[in-house]
Amino acid sequence: MKKFVVMATLALAGMGFVDAALAQGGKPSVGVAEFKNESGAGWWRGGVGWELSGMLSNELSSTGSFRVVERAKLESVLEEQNLAASGRVRSGTGASIGKLTGADYLVMGTVTSYEENTASTGGGISFKGISLGGKKSEAYIAVDVRVVNATTGEVDFSRTVEGRTSGGGVSVGVFRGGFGGSLANEKNTPAGKAIRAVLVEVTDYLSCVMVEKNGCEADYAAKEHKRRESNKKGLKLD
């Protein structure tokens, strides 16, 4: 009896050691679902949703902090669960999604707002009596991000992430991916720069809350508070 107790104790201790090792060295396995669009953006056309998914997947993979599930493993399963149409995980299907795709989490993004403004800078050039005015283009994009636990089907993390361009530059981070397909023509446009900015911000946010967990969450909580306060100021209530 004593021998059994000792062996059981050692076995449990070994399991604890394995769990601890996984917790220290394991990487979350994520799959990025097809992006949805509720913004009316003119650059959104057939195939863009999966292109944005692929671009975000590349960004996440480039960090070295995630294991990223390929689109081929995701698409048929997500369509079967009606995610292609609804963007939601049906109750009771979470466990099968995780098992079939190999993903611990599903990242879902919806473009909820896109604004672009081109204004004259008052400068420009003049050649042989013909004047060409200078222009400044700015763009803004907002994406609602949800991270769904692929086992439980519950949303573990969510945030509205914003990307901006100003004066032709990207406002945040360094984009490591590339443009292709339907978005190829947007590479150097205000839309393209805003898209790059928001994908970098999404990547940084997910790295913080899912991997680093080193206090950076407070910075994103402050950003979210600032965003919400800014939106409230735009409302006129009687």
Q: State the Cα–Cα distance between residues 238 and 163, nearest whole angstrom.
A: 31
13-17, 83-87, 106-110, 188-192: segment of lowest average pLDDT = 13-17
pLDDT one-digit tens code per residue, 51-103: 999 999 999 999 999 999 999 888 888 777 666 455 566 666 666 788 888 99
Say if residues 196 and 175 touch (Cβ distance below 8 Å). yes
What was the pLDDT predicted at 187? 79
At 74, list the tokens.
């995701």
Residue 44 pLDDT > 80? yes
At 104, list the tokens.
């611990």
Higher pLDDT, 51 or 238: 51
What is the greatest pairwise CA distance in the chain? 102
At 197, list the tokens.
């900015």
What was the pLDDT predicted at 177? 59
What was the pLDDT predicted at 119? 57
What was the pLDDT predicted at 75? 85
Percent pLDDT > 70 in the chain is: 67
At 23, list the tokens.
């917790």
Buried b (16+ CB within 10 A) or exposed e, 26-59: eebbbbbbbbbbebebebbeeebbbbbbbbbbbb
Q: State the Cα–Cα distance between residues 52 and 32, nearest whole angstrom.
A: 9
What was the pLDDT predicted at 178? 65
Greatest mean pLDDT range, 8-17, 125-134, 172-181:
172-181
What was the pLDDT predicted at 61? 96
188 burial class (0-12, 13-18, 19+ CB within 10 angstroms)? Answer: exposed
What was the pLDDT predicted at 136? 61
What was the pLDDT predicted at 79? 75
Which domains are delineated in the chain? 29-122+134-233 (3.40.50.10610)
pLDDT one-digit tens code per residue, 127-171: 444 434 445 678 999 999 999 998 888 899 999 999 988 754 443
